[in-house]
Structure 1
Amino acid sequence: MADVTVTQFAEVLKVPVERLLTQLDEAGIHVSGADATISDEAKMELLTFLRRSHGRTTEATSPRKITLQRKSQGEIKVASAQGRARTVNVEVRTKKTYLNRSALQQPARPQPEEAEPPKPEVVQTEEEVRQAQEQAAANEAKQKEDQQREAEQREASMRKRMEDEARHLAEEEARLRAEEETRRQIEARIAEERKQAAAKVTTEAPKRPENRDNREAKGFQRTELHVSSDASARFKKKKQHQQQSKSRRPVQVNVASQHGFERPAAPVKRDVQIGETVTVAELAQRMAVKANEVIKVMMNMGVMATINQPIDQDTAVLVIEELGHSAVVVKENAIEDELQVTDSSHELTSRPPVVTVMGHVDHGKTSLLDYIRRTKVASGEAGGITQHIGAYHVETPKGTITFLDTPGHAAFTAMRARGAQVTDIVILVVAADDGVMPQTAEAIQHARAAEVPIVVAVNKIDKHDKDLDRVKNDLAKHNVIPEEWGGDTQFAYVSAKTGEGIDALLEAVLLQADVLELKAPRDGLAAGVVIESTMEKGRGAVATVLVKRGVLKPGDPIIAGQEFGRVRAMFDETGKAVEEAGPSLPVVVLGLSGAPNAGDDLLVVESERKAREVALYRQGKFRDTKLAKQGPAKIEDMMSQMGDGKTASVQVVLKADVQGSAEALRDALTKLSTDEVSVKVVSSGVGGITESDVTLAQASNARIIGFNVRADSSARNMIKESGIDVRYYSVIYEAIDDVRSALSGMLAPEVKEQIVGLAEVRDVFRSSKFGTVAGCIVVDGYVRRNNPIRVLRENVVIFEGALESLRRFKDDVNEVRAGTECGIAVQNYNDVRVGDQIECFARFEVARTV
């Protein structure tokens, strides 16, 4: 057979060219490509390799059998005894063996007998020699023809066998695919029959026995199916008896309750109602989609969220619109609106003014109130400054006034703002010897924001270094102009030490109150605002409340922020029990479930159950809003956090005596954070330090700060065992300074450089030991061996490194002073030229502060 190309040979064998090339390569037959020719010897070698790889001998015999194995996997759903469908994995394995009948029936080929060597004959004549030669040539040609014919037959037989093998393999694969398709069709048919049977049984099943009166009252019928595969014979008989007794009564089947599920022809667009927050699961349920689809949409938007995580309203609207639905924003605080309804039909009566005393620290605010109240409050304050808001009801000869004393320290900004929001008149105390200070200007801003009139009290006029004109000029810069200058602000010049000008101040306040015509209703449900709150041992939550309308009495169900309860007792600022509190009167209230936040509104409701319902709603809403504000993690934020290192932080567990001080201290500590170090307040609350606080600090590796509170006995024992750092403070700026010092110690020191000397290169020498040596003269400072250097050329740094050698004549020296010649060898640098300058400098660390 003539040589053919690989492509032609593949077409004859009906196999892909790539597969034939792979088999040729595995058989060790190297061809250049599909267009290369293949000889008969290469074909025989390929056939031998294929036979050997299939477990056959090198003899030209056909395989006796071929074994094929196939494995396929699938799933079917099977109904369990409880009526739930479960998925079962099914694996089908097939193994087929095919016998080559032609190879079995073909008789063994007889081995050709070896031809006996011809006996030598004696050639007697030339004619006989010629005939013998012709006969030999004819035999040789015939032998070659027989060999060629036999080779062609073997080639045809091999090609036929390979074609048969390929055909058998293709038929087997087709048969297996047909079997797999048949199995799938059977499973689908079985599942459909089961579904139809279940639907039919559900429709025809009798109702559960129930009271006839209840059925008539409900007005609808229920059809249920109960199937038990392992019920006993006794149970079956009892069930059949019940069904027979029930079948005697007429059974009505509500056709309207039967559902016919049909696939919608078009996507359903829904109006999805959302409130301020909604979880991913609730949002998916309202859109009738899987939660995974909602999470996928949020991931495409760059937001990571779990199925139970609440998201804010804006994110929910974007997700709803992305999925093709319409978002409807609803107001969920209807329960809150019921509490805000006030009856305007009640008669308004005059009430005392609420006056807030504000100003800079140590300007005499509390001392002024102390003189008015004839008590010693300032002496009892820690550090001589007020740490929280004090509310006082004062009966003066000029009339009744409610005073609120606010702190003057910078950390109590929020407390001063609350004082301005609940007040009618602001007394701005300014020291005559100090003038307008930062907290004074801040108090003016709070009063202007609350639109409250200001009465200026210039204190400390008894001092010899007073400067009233300076105070007026400074206040005029803030647009607080006295009446004598043509303004609208009353000025009173007082002395809290001698009492001078106090009567004029009270007259100015009452005059301003008359102008305002302050009135409030005394009838109806009372309402007020929480000035301060704390937790006291034996008394529980204690809240200082300023009543704004109505009359507060013991026994009234109240709600304040997220806390609720009933008024168990009320006391005035002196600790005396009171039976009622009208408008503009401050009282201490006991009976709340917890300490409310300062500034929360206190409302009296119809019942304690209503108060509990509203409080629980507020707690859940606050929790969801807090989680939504924290927000799902964004992908870019996660990547940035992975790339940045961890920021050093100081963990703090904060406990204070009152809610306002805890809030002020928490805000002040948080503001100390920087990009490198931060303060993290793990927990803040009011009351003494308990075991739970110590456990939390131990778990979070935090320090405990107690502001005007102490640890109880059990907490002290735990502190000794665990070694937790606990600090007690009574002045707020001491706590802030200590935390600032701790943060400063965590900052990495700043490395600074200082030039200590400068040498000028006068000549350059070559040394076999040191290379290039610069002959220099120190023109400024000194040059030391261990200090780093820089090489300057025309005042440009061209190299920075260290000294390799510093010599004075032939001696090695450690230091060379100004005006002295020396030899300098720069380490790893030989390009020193005449006129260069060698700068010697030193590095030192400087501690940083926050």
Structure 2
Amino acid sequence: MAEVTVKELADVVGTSAERLLSQMKEAGLPQTAENQQVSDEQKQSLLLFLKKSHGEESGEPKKITLKRKVTTTLKTGQGGKKAVSIEVRKKRTYVKRDEVDPAVEKARLEEEARLAAEAQAAEAAKAAALAAEKAAEEAKVAAAPVVADKPAAAEPATKASEPVAKAKVKAKEKAPAPETEDAAQKRAEAELAQQRLEESRKKAKGGEKKRVDDKPESRFNDGGSQDKNRPRRAKTKLKSNRSSSSRHNQNANNEHAFTRPTAPVVKEVELPEAITVGDLASKMSVKAGEVIKVLMKMGVMATINQTLDQDTATLVVEEMGHTVSKLIADNALEVAVTESVNYSGDELPRAPVVTVMGHVDHGKTSLLDYIRRTRVVHGEAGGITQHIGAYHVETDHGMVSFLDTPGHAAFTSMRARGAQSTDVVILVVAADDGVMPQTEEAVQHAKAAGVPIVVAINKMDKESADPERVKSELAGRDVLPEDWGGTVPFIPVSAHTGMGIDELLEAVLLQAEILELKAHFTGPGQGVVVESRLDKGRGPVATLLVQNGMLKKGDIVLAGTCYGRARALLDENGEQTAEAGPSIPVEILGLNGTPDAGDNFMVVESEKKAREVAEFRESRMKEIVQQRQQAAKLDALFSGMGADKVENLNVVLKADVRGSLEALISSLQKLGTSEVKVNVVSSGVGGITETDVTLAVASSAVVFGFNVRADNAAKRIVENSGIDMRYYSVIYDLLDDVKQAMAGLLAPELREEITGIAEVRDVFNSPKFGQIAGCMVTDGTIYRNKKIRVLRDNVVVYEGELESLRRYKDDVQEVRNGMECGIGVKNYQDVRPGDQIEVFDVREIARTL
């Protein structure tokens, strides 16, 4: 520790510099000014001096005082409405005892041993005298019936007296020498100390039974002979002590081991998110009726099988004097398994994952085939097979992974489950055909997922190719090219000649560099399920895309509600591989089922944990489906709205012709206000398809069909997901329903209506209610259960409620115009003659657009 000045040391110890200097002077230190330095040795010398001055020669405290203050709340009054704070202060002082001199301790032990020996010898002498006296008494009883004129009978009496004489001689021989007065006094003190020790032990037990010798007719006496000799035992103090000690020992042996606790037992309870009343009572080791009583005092009516939430159960546990040690979440096991996956080391750049989308016959498959033929080196890792649906290629600038998804349905279903597996979307548009309905859908899906887009203008080798038309049409869909001031790169390509393929891959890799895609290449594998199927020969087969860590053969994989050990890993060529890193698609065998596309997978430590989490997810699946069905209903989408928050009504709109579609979109957008707006997530011409319904589920939207219908696949998704889908043939009916739904978002308007006015004529005093105003109803009707205002000179002086409303001696609920009544105003005692009592009601008026 560095040297400090006297003033700095005084600030540290919390005293003044003058006082510290005086103490240092008394300790013999040389410091006399505040700015002088103090070394560590001088600090130790000052500390030892201060300890000695306080009586601590050895530097250790002789006495410690502990203080404790506990504040509790006592509920008094009827119903426990009044709370009184009670503060209990406790103080306890512990004094360190001085060490005992070994010589003194040895002398004390020798004196105790001598006293014990003398007491034992006295007990033996008294026992021998008692035995002799008992034998003499028995001899007298035996000689009592002998007659004087029969001298022959005297001989047995003489023989009977011989044992008595022998016993007396033996007692005299064994008896010690007469004890002195000091020894007798010490023995008496030892006996008194022993008696006090026994009494203190009895008091400490608390629940000890009454001694048996206090009951003259007890069943636990030592034999019938003691009952016969009971009058003689009272004569000798030694007899009483002996029999009392023996009975006490017998009673102690027969006493049960249970002792009632002297203080209440406080339990530490672990509470899940939901627990029944019976289980909560079992955790606290109390009866369920006690818990129900506490709930009734809290205003909750519950039965033994009723489920309580975590907050209510916490209040009950604290009310009953116990403590909550831990709050357990329902998904605690799932969270524990997820948090157990840790990665060490720095993240390294990974390859981008690309999804190719576009309209039918615009050249998506041809473009992928050309990339496969030219960019995948034969004999090395790579290639493509039609069954795995994913592959990766090596370019001059790095690797790119492609997902071969069947249309937009899989892409949307993956996003609906929260799996952002795609980094970049390549939008393929034919240069001779332009933007088509599926092209618009692809743009809407990519924007909803927040994924950057790279537009590939295909079929540039045709004479009718018009790339400027494609740019103009996509710019109308809010996809602006880079050369027009936008952010989306447009690359002219040809799947037949290979024109622009290098530029397309470079644009994709450039987007990946902007995104700064990184991942860990060590540790347990994590990722997303691309697709899964059931193979007849191999069982469940799942295509996994690794996003983090390393997936190895033999790992225990948890994917959604399925789990299992990875018995084999297959690459895109169908050949087995030992491991797969980030951005690498791989097929896995060994799961117990087929997980859904978009489910996250992870490597778990043990199969037991994986099974438990999978079963938990499966049990929660029904609840999630019910919540989605409830949330997707049009009437339930707008149950409330926060303050200063703009709510959006998400709509998926399909119409029969383009003109009707544009008119509907324009009309819906005009319905928006500053509080609520209509957000058209997707729109198009034609029937309602499976893609439209899946997008509505992912966006929590409502599906409107104008003169169109849904196909069978879309109907099945609507039935399973429970979203709201409505058909219309008149445009005004659709707009009216949207207006009603938007009006449900608007906060209701509060409007006051005065129901009656009463004039105070006189004021009376009631012992029960205080001041009672005698009134005449001058307008409307006075109601008992509505709010009131007290007006004095047309100025509001009080606003509250009625405590009583009477007409003559009867309590009434209302008093009409022109009738007299007595009114007691709650919590207000300053009603005066001439005041007016105004009764009003607050009504909520629904707002409309």
Same-fold status (TM-score > 0.5): no
TM-score by length of 2: 0.38
TM-score by length of 1: 0.38
